[in-house]
Amino acid sequence: MSSYRQPGVVLTDRHFTVPLDHSDPGGEQIEVYGREAVAASRVGDDLPWLVYLEGGPGFGARRFVGAEAWLGRALRDFRVLLLDQRGTGLSTPANRQTLPLRGGPREQAAYLAHFRADSIVRDCELIRPRLTGGAPWTVLGQSFGGFCAVRYLSAAPEGLKEVLITGGLPSLDAHADDVYRAAYPRIERKVAAHYARYPQDVERARAITAYLAEHRPESAGHRLTPEGFQSLGILLGSGSGSHQLHYLLENAFVRTPHGTELSDAFQEAMRTSASFAGHPLYALLHEAIYGQGDRATDWAAERVRGEFPQFDAAATLAGDGPVLFTGETVHPWHFDVDPALRPLRETAELLARRTDWPVLYDPERLAANEVPVAAAVYHDDMYVDTADSLRTAAAIRGLRTWVTDEYEHDGVRAGGPRVLDRLLALVRDEV
């Protein structure tokens, strides 16, 4: 272990060895990393632990500088473990460079099947007694981290003192088709709100889409396409995302000796925003997190998109309507245009066709839950369906909700300490 200081915080690197397959504890081992954070004034105190599960899938825990955002509030009460879930951050990596060590696409897909919420919870249960001496701990789950927290409540509630969920109450039984069938209308509402705020972006988006359709430029090996441009709508799920998208569009074109072209600055910004190089597991496992039972996910977002023809960029350009952005969806073409994903296309196909996903949630156990749970449900969350979240909240005994339209999906980050403070008050019966 190594420790170091940031303003007001002492951080310690922690490395844990866990089985790749928890049903075979003596088999292959991988490493999971966690960054311990404690207030500098409380280093020697006997504090309870909070483990933070980041959203995703496929993102390492947020890298804070000092006591930013919600972390400062947490450090008043807890030692915090910022966990890099398996395959992310400083944990054993899983990407186009490392996965060939497993073998071919079939071996890679079998390996990645162990990177869902069920395995993440088993990792937590191996790590917990090493840190707490066996005492239960508090879990804070953001987005997909909340999905993991509901799995935790289903599989190992004895390890939990209390659970705090932000924008991450999953449907207990929806297939991926159902998830995306509910998602596209939400995305359309967010796009309409963006264009109402920035009406000048309607023509800008049409012009950019038309240019990409005609020229198909590349930036650092990343093919820039109309569909890729539409995927920038993922920004619209965060509190400042509409403004970020507007600023991205405003300098899209420059005049050159050869006529008007997409600027290098825009192409680089689009490539950076659209690339999965830093989080390939997001693309590989995004639909797999909804897999339960013997029904394949089978590129659900792509298939269901066909039910919403208003998202067809080519058809839009043939008329005079606005180009609709898309959101948190992954498509087969992502594995053609992105050099970070291109070598993993067949692996992704095998995961999409998989028909033996373990069931993740236990409705009977959740109905008998005794762990204090509080969840922030964002009223029109673009990423997680509000109606599904509220149905799941009603299915978990004792869960208290805070339903708010003050924040978007990133409320726990954008809201500083306020969101965490409210959830802690709910689980402690202080409000």
pLDDT digits (tens, 9 = 90+) for 159-175: 999 999 999 999 999 99
State how far the Cα of 276 lies from the Cα of 331, in Å rounded to an integer: 12
Kindly report, residue by residue over 25-37, the tens digit of the pLDDT: 999 999 999 999 9
The pLDDT of residue 416 is above 90: no
Q: Can you read off the two tokens belonging to residue 33? A: 């990393």
% of the chain at pLDDT higher than 70 = 100
User: For this structure, is 409 an active site residue?
Assistant: yes
Q: Rounded CA gap, 146 and 52, in Å? A: 10
**Residue extents of the structural domains in the chain:** 2-173+361-427, 176-353
Question: How many residues are recorded in the chain?
Answer: 431
- DSSP letter assigned to residue 158: G
Catalytic residue among 45, 46, 294, 356, which? Answer: 356
- At 92-150, the pLDDT tens digits run 999 999 999 999 999 999 999 999 999 999 999 999 999 999 999 999 999 999 999 99
The whole-angstrom separation of Cα 18 and Cα 118 is: 14
Instruction: Report the distance separating Cα 425 and Cα 431, nearest Å.
Output: 6
The answer to whether the predicted template modeling score (pTM) of the entire model surpasses 0.85 is yes
Pairing of strands 400-404, 373-378: parallel
272-283 per-position pLDDT tens digit: 999 999 999 999
Name the catalytic one among 91, 119, 143, 171: 143
* Active-site residue, selected from the candidate residues 84, 118, 409, 410: 409
pLDDT band for 327, please (50, 70, 90 cuts): confident
CATH code for 2-173+361-427? 3.40.50.1820
* Residue 279 is a catalytic residue: no
Handedness of CA 172, 176, 181, 186 (dihedral sign): positive
Active site residue 243: no
**Strand bridging mode 253-256 / 259-262:** antiparallel
